[in-house]
Amino acid sequence: GPRSRELLERRAAAVPNGLYKAHQIAIESASGALVTDVDGNTFIDFVGGIGVLNAGHCPPSVVAAIQEQAAKLIHFSALVGTYEPYIALCERLNALAPISGPCKTILSNSGAEGVENAIKIARAATGRQAIIAFEGAYHGRTLLTLTLTSKYTFKKTFGPFAPEVYRAPFPAAYRMGVSEEEAVERCWEAFERILVAHVGPEAIAAVIIEPVQGEGGFIPTPREFMRRLRDFCTRNGSILIADEVQCGFGRTGTLFAMEQMAVEPDILVSAKSIAAGMPLAATTGRAAIMDKAHIGGIGGTYGGNPLACVAALEVVRMFDDGELLRRAKQIGAIVRERGAIWLRDIPLVGNVRGLGAMLAIELVKDRATRAPAADEVLEVVQYCAEHGVLTMRAGLYANCIRLLMPLVITDDQLHEGLDVLEEALHVVAQ
Ligand code: PMP
């Protein structure tokens, strides 16, 4: 529409091109799982602000909490003093984190900051420096987190990167063309080789992993692989960091994906859907570890801003009765059922996978070679947008379509969106 076009032109003139946008749309408002653009067109949202809106767009109780808080206190800074919403939220997160024993939490503004805090604390607690991160990982765009991130298109001219980060292969079974068991064995062998060829175990402060790899293509970490990492960290005195920025806060059918992994992390990072769109991240971990960062060493002006904290407290309350988690499992089952049909009927669809409602469809040019179909993904995303459904790509090879619809989506909206996606897959496959 004309108003969207005008805004897009203004963006091009005022904002650097380096800020990518998946869609040529300009948004005015949103509610639940629907967004409306400045020309009055409505879309079904399968992106959810990149996994931020599990509780839906503008949940009324969150809006009310923010409005009420805004009239009382917008900002104070936890570096200056204390205010109740910050403490109340940390108490709730400490109790909810899938970590036994006493926990503590520090708040910040973004997933990247939450991860940086985890790494700093792990280094302080161990007196070591080396970090092991995985191929296909995404941990953010600040210098340290961009170093941890494993996709060259994000990095390009931005080096030099931070030292003491080592890369291990991730058991991405479908991409590797082997069974999950075989992928685990091969990647574990590679992990052990790294300890001989690249960095000694005594130097390793932490291993950081996404329980479900997000940007890398929505690949759940095999439980057995997570178990071995846990075992290694325990024996070696290293810290296991779970980056749940994208997979956390209900996406996978449990509040945290680690609840489905049978082992505990030492530190867990949450962000995105934690506060229904307010900028907030939480780094939660064993109290004895969290207290190791020196006084004044962590924190920032805005981290745990009162508005973000009351929003998060309301989101936590929305998850309390378990209804949203049940809905996540239900959405997952519905999408998987449709995905099974696509796998049967559309050769372009190579793999449908994920955990709970964190699901992706991987497109391939040829099922035998599994050659990534990245252009086709863009065509599907484009077709869906033209037909009223917003989706977004993912994957190390940019050949996956990720589904991150708000969990409050209605059955009708979900089926309508999946119908459009199905049509798009058929059209592009031809
Ligand atoms: N970790 C993971 C797993 C993520 O998916 C992201 C964002 N996509 C980040 C960290 C970084 O979060 P932010 O963009 O809020 O800095």
Cβ(249) – ligand 1 distance below 6 Å: no
For residue 153, give both structure tokens: 């298109």
pLDDT band at 93 (very low <50, low <70, confident <90, very high): very high
Cα 53 to ligand 1 centroid, rounded to whole Å? 14
Q: Give the integer Cα–Cα distance in Å for 252 and 250.
A: 6
For the CA atoms of 277, 382, 246, 146, the dihedral, rounded to the nearest 10 degrees, stands at: -100
Residue owning the nearest CA to atom 12 of ligand 1: 111
* Mean pLDDT, residues 46-54 taken together: 98
Cα 216 to ligand 1 centroid, rounded to whole Å? 12
Atom nearest to 272 CA in ligand 1: 15
Would you state the pLDDT for residue 271? 98
Q: Give the integer Cα–Cα distance in Å for 67 and 408.
A: 22
Neighbours of 346 (CB within 10 A): 17
Cα 412 to ligand 1 centroid, rounded to whole Å? 30
Which regions of the chain carry the CATH code 3.90.1150.10? 2-59+322-429
* H or E segment and range at residue 352: strand 349-355
Cβ(111) – ligand 1 distance below 6 Å: yes
Cβ(112) – ligand 1 distance below 6 Å: yes
For the CA atoms of 312, 313, 319, 321, the dihedral, rounded to the nearest 10 degrees, stands at: -170
> What digits encode the pLDDT tens for the residues 262-289?
999 999 999 999 999 999 999 999 999 9
User: Exposure of 373 by Cβ count < 10 A (0-12 exposed, 13-18 middle, 19+ buried)?
Assistant: buried
Cα 43 to ligand 1 centroid, rounded to whole Å? 24
Cα 273 to ligand 1 centroid, rounded to whole Å? 11
Compute the Cα dihedral for 168, 171, 176, 178 and give only its sign.
positive
Domain 73-320 has CATH 3.40.640.10: yes
* H or E segment and range at residue 270: strand 267-270
Cα 330 to ligand 1 centroid, rounded to whole Å? 25
Cβ(215) – ligand 1 distance below 6 Å: yes
Which amino acid, residue 18?
G
Ligand 1 pocket: which of 113, 117, 139, 149 to mutate (most atoms within 8 A of CB): 139
Give 116's contacts (C-beta < 8 A, 6+ positions apart).
108, 140, 142, 144, 145
- Give the class (CATH, top level) of 2-59+322-429: alpha beta
pLDDT band at 243 (very low <50, low <70, confident <90, very high): very high
CB contact at 8 A, 79 and 112:
no
Ligand 1 pocket: which of 19, 245, 273 to mutate (most atoms within 8 A of CB): 245
Cβ(243) – ligand 1 distance below 6 Å: yes
Residue owning the nearest CA to atom 1 of ligand 1: 139
Cβ(130) – ligand 1 distance below 6 Å: no
Ligand 1 pocket: which of 47, 54, 138, 274 to mutate (most atoms within 8 A of CB): 138
Would you state the pLDDT for residue 344? 97
pLDDT band at 260 (very low <50, low <70, confident <90, very high): very high
pLDDT band at 362 (very low <50, low <70, confident <90, very high): very high
- CA angle 181/185/187 to nearest 5° reads 115
For residue 397, give both structure tokens: 């090879």
Would you state the pLDDT for residue 166? 98
Residue owning the nearest CA to atom 13 of ligand 1: 111
pLDDT band at 48 (very low <50, low <70, confident <90, very high): very high
Q: Give the integer Cα–Cα distance in Å for 93 and 105.
A: 7
Cα 78 to ligand 1 centroid, rounded to whole Å? 23
**Quick check: bond before 160 cis, omega within 30?**
yes
Beta strands 165-168 and 130-134 are: parallel
Would you state the pLDDT for residue 291? 98
Q: Is 362 helix (H, G, I), strand (E, B) or coil?
A: strand
Cα 268 to ligand 1 centroid, rounded to whole Å? 13
For 89, phi then psi, to 5°, come to: -70, -45
> What digits encode the pLDDT tens for the residues 115-144?
999 999 999 999 999 999 999 999 999 999
Q: Give the integer Cα–Cα distance in Å for 320 and 312.
A: 12
Cβ(139) – ligand 1 distance below 6 Å: yes
pLDDT band at 316 (very low <50, low <70, confident <90, very high): very high
Which regions of the chain carry the CATH code 3.40.640.10? 73-320
Cβ(57) – ligand 1 distance below 6 Å: no
Cα 430 to ligand 1 centroid, rounded to whole Å? 35
Cβ(48) – ligand 1 distance below 6 Å: no
Cα 98 to ligand 1 centroid, rounded to whole Å? 20
Q: Is 323 helix (H, G, I), strand (E, B) or coil?
A: helix
* Mean pLDDT, residues 333-345 taken together: 98
Would you state the pLDDT for residue 210? 99
Percent of the chain with pLDDT over 70: 100
